[in-house]
Amino acid sequence: MSNKYLIVILRFHGDVLLTKPMIDNIKLNDPDGEIDLLLYKGTGSILEQEKSIGEIIEVDNASKVNIFSRIKKEISLWAKVRSKKYNYAFFLTTQWRVVPISWAIGKAMKSAVDDKKRKKSLWTKSFSVIFPEALNNHIIQRNLSALKSLGLKVFNEDLMLDPVPLEKEYKILSDSFPFLNQDNGYCLIHPTSRREKKLWDKEKFGELISLLVNKNFSVVITSGPDLHEIGYVDEILKNADIVDEQVLNLAGKTSLMGLAALISRSKFFIGLDSVASHIAASVNKESITLFGPSNPNNWKPWSNRAKVIVRDDLKNIEVGDVISLVEEMYP
């Protein structure tokens, strides 16, 4: 009988994508192993078509559910994970919510991430092993240390999405938007992030797009589905000196898989500290990422083709800093 594995990551889209090297290494350790993910609802779409994943179990973000509904759903979740009879479980986030999930799983080998706020014996005794937080290592390296903590080998640290679903997704998009089929290609800019403090000035993004167009680059601009993000892109384009034939605005019009497909076919990618930059790394695309408040040692795009501009405050990144890196790629 094959082993069953569960990865619990109750965070956001980018965090989920960064579990992909874990998943691949589990398969290298145990080709017949069955791997499930336990995620917040809607955060696993980027991995839904990965053949190595069995079931994606989705739960509501507890803060958005009333207490009575939450208790009912949690009891149902505990019953589900118990019935799956997992052999290994990895807990990559430190909400107290995962403790009863661990208890429900039962006798599996269970590894959980350390946290200075979780030193109580209730936490440490709820798992087989506690593995260290990232500190100055990358989150991917931290995640892989969870495998080592339960005796599994790490064969590589590569972050790679399956290209086959992306090809199918790109075909759909290119049929819908002829702009994507032009001979000189396009660069892709994703100027939005879930957190406002990670945003760059709208005026600077507008100036950047104008300069790229003047250098004969066609530009595709994207965002998430949130109306605030779509409006942010509209404001950026108002500050850009362009005509419609030079820029394709797809803000809010693609899924994450569609975004990955577009990035995979672009000349290069420019973005912020967000899932889009991690997607660029996962499709091995040259990229420029603007970093402000986050620790790039933990969160930079995991690729040797990724260039990162780091300032304590994003306001201190100038358009010229970005253009200089573009000119290094395309002199």
Distance of alpha carbon 44 from alpha carbon 57, whole angstroms: 9
Q: Report the pLDDT value the prediction gives residue 270, as an integer from 0 to 100.
A: 98
Contact (Cβ atoms closer than 8 angstroms) between residue 71 and residue 89: no
The per-residue pLDDT string of the chain (331 residues; one tens digit each, 9 = 90 and over) reads 799 999 999 999 999 999 999 999 999 999 999 999 999 999 999 999 899 999 999 998 876 667 878 888 999 999 999 999 999 999 999 998 999 999 999 999 999 999 877 767 888 899 999 998 888 899 999 999 999 999 999 999 999 999 999 999 999 999 999 999 988 999 999 999 988 889 999 999 999 999 999 999 999 999 999 999 999 999 999 988 887 789 999 999 999 999 999 999 999 999 999 999 999 999 999 999 999 888 999 999 999 999 999 999 999 999 999 999 999 999 8
Distance of alpha carbon 6 from alpha carbon 91, whole angstroms: 8
Question: What is residue 125's three-state secondary structure?
Answer: coil
Q: Report the pLDDT value the prediction gives residue 64, as an integer from 0 to 100.
A: 66
Shared fold status for 4-149 and 163-329: yes
Distance of alpha carbon 322 from alpha carbon 290, whole angstroms: 9
Distance of alpha carbon 94 from alpha carbon 122, whole angstroms: 13
Domain over 4-149 is classified CATH 3.40.50.2000: yes
Q: Report the pLDDT value the prediction gives residue 63, as an integer from 0 to 100.
A: 64
Fold of 163-329: Rossmann fold (3.40.50)
67-73 contacts at long range (C-beta below 8 A, 24 or more positions apart): none
pTM score of the predicted model: 0.95
Q: Domain map of the chain by residue range?
A: 4-149, 163-329
Q: Report the pLDDT value the prediction gives residue 116, as an integer from 0 to 100.
A: 77
Instruction: Give CA angle at 237 (231, 239), nearest 5°.
Output: 110
